[in-house]
Amino acid sequence: MFYSLFDPYYWILIVPSLLLAVLAQMMVSTNFKKYSAVYNQRGYTGADAARMILDSNGLYHVRIERVHGNLTDHYDPKDEVIRLSDSVYGSASVAAVGVAAHEAGHAVQHATGYVPIRIRSAIIPITQIGSQLSIPLILLGFLFQFQPLVFAGILFYATAALFQLVTLPVEFNASSRAMKVLEQSEMLTGDELTGAARVLRAAAMTYVAALLTALAQLLRLILIFGGRRRDD
């Protein structure tokens, strides 16, 4: 922790990416709050929108559940259920419909075998292991001057960046699917579509920020430990 204060790579690489992540999260909160106060003319709720998109793609078996919290919306492919937060499930706001349509887009991705989401699902176990082992392996390798262990740790950490990289097309595609069906079905029209698009674009920026943060940390580890020996 204290080392970071004197680490130039931390200030050059990590701090800017963290600031971008904070800015992206602020954009999400601001846009969601703004368009949560704008209601669609047809009166569709988030749950209605998700159900219509699922049914139009033959996904009648996919359930929709309400969960507590704010922006805790997600699709669970294991249980084949879309879970919508309190602020989305029963709300007829433009923001709620946009978010629900996005989650329905993920369900359609899984059903159609969308390649990036299959890749992301496949590397999740590796990413989980890598996130737990990467730093300990790097530190042990540096401590015992065993460079292969350091490289193994950096490689494990790289899986986190790979996960974020694969996540980008998954999220952008889900939003694209959502906006397309909202327009074609006329669930939202005109300014309503613009509002939903702004909410989803803001959300997408959080994934861009997460990727940049992961890449920045990976580069920092390489610069600090890659090729470095204990007696340097």
Give the C-alpha separation, 83 to 99, whole Å: 11
Angle at which helix 94-112 crosses helix 147-184, to 10 degrees, equals 120
Q: By the 8 A CB rule, do 64 and 165 touch?
A: no
C-alpha dist (Å) from residue 146 to 47, 137, 143, 232: 55, 10, 8, 14
C-beta pairs of 9-15 under 8 Å, 24+ apart in sequence: 9/219, 9/220, 9/223, 9/224, 10/220, 13/216, 13/217, 13/219, 13/220, 14/213, 14/216, 14/217, 14/220
Both tokens assigned to 106? 């993920």
**Measured on CA atoms in the order 66, 67, 68, 69, is the torsion positive or negative?**
negative
Active site residue 183: no
Both tokens assigned to 90? 């029963």
For 229: left if phi > 0, alpha if psi spans -120 to 50, otherwise beta; the answer is beta
Active-site residue identified among 65, 80, 103, 171: 103
User: What is the residue type of 195?
Assistant: G
Catalytic machinery residues: 103
